[in-house]
Amino acid sequence: MKREKSGLTVIEILVVVSIIAILVGILLPALRMVQNTAKAVKQQAQFTAIDLGLAAFRGDYGDYPPSNWWNPTIPGPQNYCGAQKLAEALLGWDLLGFHPDSAWRGDGLDAQGGPDTYDPLGTYSPAVRQENLKKRRDRYIELDGANAFRLGESTAGLRDGLFVSTAGAWGGQPLAPNTHVLCDVYEVPERKMMLTDGRSVVPGTPILYYRANPSSKTIDSTGTGTVEPEDRIYNVRDNVPLISFGRLADAAKLPANRQKHPLDMTSPAGWAVDFYDYIRDPKVQARRWPYRPDSYLLISAGPDGLYGTPDDIRNFGKR
């Protein structure tokens, strides 16, 4: 009796494999698009939480938190830029809530250089510490969803900060390493951190914060040069030291022209983006005019981790 052959021929197997490959090729881009959309929605939700927190802060104190960084006319250390001040306002310098007497200093001290706000020197007794905490405001956003990270690494030998060093920023001014910034939802795997409690976390890129100067009527960055940045509606300097550190990913693995952010004031010609054009509202044709001239700007670097590129997530306009 002749035995019948069973199974698939080589040709049939190749046909099946080809069909599977075609289906995967069709589904992967669709899946990637869904993932990107979900991330963008999550980032907008984080912005909404920040918006609500800033509105509550303004209700308590009459204005939004400052974002100013460096003014060449002011002597002394200036190591506290807009992104850091946003984190303090919403969470507190030490993440335990904002102190109403804050002097907005990177070292957490009061206006006279003493510990009467956040006690960064650890000199308070337990009883005084409790009284200090009673003066604080509750956090304006939930800490769990704030994506707050230290700016610099500690001396414990752990990768527990965004940057190995916060020295030598634009203008030669370092940033305070023990302060915090709010990071976006686009994780940077190369910066995976090991915290002191043994947990590992993956941060996003810091969210930039600029507060408007409503008394100003210009955003001009060209011309006679008589309008100083601090006298414009928005000041390009407010986050430039943070931007000048470069992309959060491992720079050694990136092409030279992808290490710097296009919004960096020292970016190469042809790659740089003029900040004042970046924030310009195209609907206003009579003159250059920014979005949100009476409030503030928020900028996430988006999936590519670079500020000033088309995938940025912002609370103003579209890229």
The answer to whether residue 234 sits within a structural domain is yes
The answer to whether residue 29 sits within a structural domain is yes
The answer to whether residue 127 sits within a structural domain is no
The answer to whether residue 146 sits within a structural domain is yes
Q: The pTM is what? A: 0.86
Query: What range does the domain containing 267 cover?
Result: 12-98+137-314
The answer to whether residue 132 sits within a structural domain is no
The answer to whether residue 129 sits within a structural domain is no
pLDDT digits (tens, 9 = 90+) for 84-140: 999 999 999 999 999 999 999 999 998 888 888 999 988 999 999 999 999 999 999
From residue 303, alpha-carbon distances to 40, 193, 242, 296 in Å are 9, 19, 18, 22
CA distance 27 to 201: 30
User: Do 104 and 110 form a contact (C-beta atoms < 8 A)?
Assistant: no
Q: How many domains in the chain?
A: 1
Provide the strand spans (E) within the chain.
148-150, 180-182, 193-194, 200-201, 208-211, 296-300, 313-314
DSSP for 279-311 reads: TB-TT--SS--BSSTTSEEEEE-TTTT-TTSTT
DSSP 8-state symbol, 75: -
Residues belonging to the chain: 319
Residue 18 Ramachandran class (φ > 0 left, ψ -120 to 50 alpha, else beta):
alpha
pLDDT digits (tens, 9 = 90+) for 201-254: 899 999 999 999 999 988 875 544 456 777 899 999 899 889 988 888 765 565
What token pair was written down for 158?
């752990």
What token pair was written down for 2?
């002749």
From residue 182, alpha-carbon distances to 172, 207, 270 in Å are 23, 6, 30
- A 10 A CB-CB count for 226 gives 7
pLDDT digits (tens, 9 = 90+) for 292-316: 999 999 999 999 999 999 999 999 9
The answer to whether residue 119 sits within a structural domain is no
- A 10 A CB-CB count for 74 gives 9
